[in-house]
Amino acid sequence: MPPDLLATPECWQAHMGVWAILPSYLHESLAAIRAGLWRPRSPAAALPGVPVATAVEGVPTPPLAYAVTPEGVGVLPLHGPSMKARSKYGGYSTVDARRQLRAMAADERVGAILLHIDSPGGHVAGTKELADDVAAVDQSKPVHAYLEDAGASAAYWIASQARSVTANAMAMVGSLGTFTVLYDLSKAAEMEGVQVRIVSTGERKGAAAPGTPVTDADVAEAQRLVDGFDAFFRAAVRDGRELGAKDAAAVWTGSVWLAAEAKGLGLVDRVETLDAAVERLAAPLRAKAAKARFAPA
């Protein structure tokens, strides 16, 4: 990754580590960034009349804002890859999403919440907390998820905690699992005449540093961490979707399915358009409003 694109420690921290994302998306994105074809985006501008998340000190921040239909369906867009912090490359912050979700829970205009998801997944950091918030908010105000074109990996983890999950016919659903990548650059360093030596205070401190061989112990350690993160992911999907152990094992392959296939596997409840999903949530709210309007004083 070009040095000029890693301007801050926060940026580096946000992008490194363990991912729950479509591997093809991550690999192609990294290739584009390395080639200089994908540049950082400029900060998003606030839209008139759209709620904007506010920083602690009152400084406006790039919006991850929800919209509310006349009937009271609050729609929260979760588009692109997710990370705990904001990324200059786009996507959404799980911290921002949690703030907006809690704002929707307190907003009297919102009678039902729809997570509009179009995401290949993202970083594991922050995903569990957002998924937990979805489940918690659903206890007081119904939360539903709509997967449009992509609802994979960490994005599905979040969706699985909603009351229902629907998707458009061509949505890619699944890629359930967690991974990280270890690069063995020792041969490249050797060819460049570079010898890397680690001076550390413990056996694992500094292990698998660039330029050193990746050992079986390094792989085992990475596997231990990946399995640990994945255990939270598996438990959430299994409980949220009420899947038995056999059904959960069948979908935990890393494969991606189209919506109809995902429905047959218990990952999706309905295959429908976004308009149909919004209308399905709006109808009871409209009926409730009409009943209240004509009720005796």
Alpha helices by DSSP H, listed for 117-168, are: 127-138, 154-159
pTM confidence score:
0.85
Which domains are delineated in the chain?
3-178+244-292 (3.90.226.10)
Exposure b/e, 6-33, CB count within 10 A at least 16 = b: eeeeebeebbeebbbbbbebbeebeeeb
Residues 107-155: tens digit of each pLDDT: 999 999 999 999 999 999 999 999 999 999 999 999 999 999 999 999 9
Average pLDDT over residues 69-87: 94
DSSP code of residue 167? E
44, 31, 25, 239 alpha-carbon torsion, rounded to 10°: -90
**21-25, 52-56, 66-70, 106-110: range with lowest mean pLDDT:** 52-56
Residues 6+ apart with CB under 8 A from 207: 198, 215, 217, 218, 221
Beta strands in the chain (DSSP E): 19-21, 67-68, 73-79, 82-83, 92-93, 112-119, 121-123, 143-152, 164-167, 172-174, 256-258, 270-271
pLDDT at position 294, please? Answer: 73
pLDDT at position 35, please? Answer: 78
Average pLDDT over residues 244-264: 96
Query: If pLDDT is split at 50, 70 and 90, which confidence band does 40 have?
Result: low
**62-71, 74-83, 99-108, 149-158: range with lowest mean pLDDT:** 62-71
Average pLDDT over residues 228-239: 97
Average pLDDT over residues 18-44: 72
Structure tokens, 111: 């009678």
Q: Are 220 and 175 in contact (CB under 8 A)?
A: no
Structure tokens, 290: 């009409």
Residues 184-227: tens digit of each pLDDT: 999 999 999 999 999 999 989 999 899 999 999 999 999 999 99
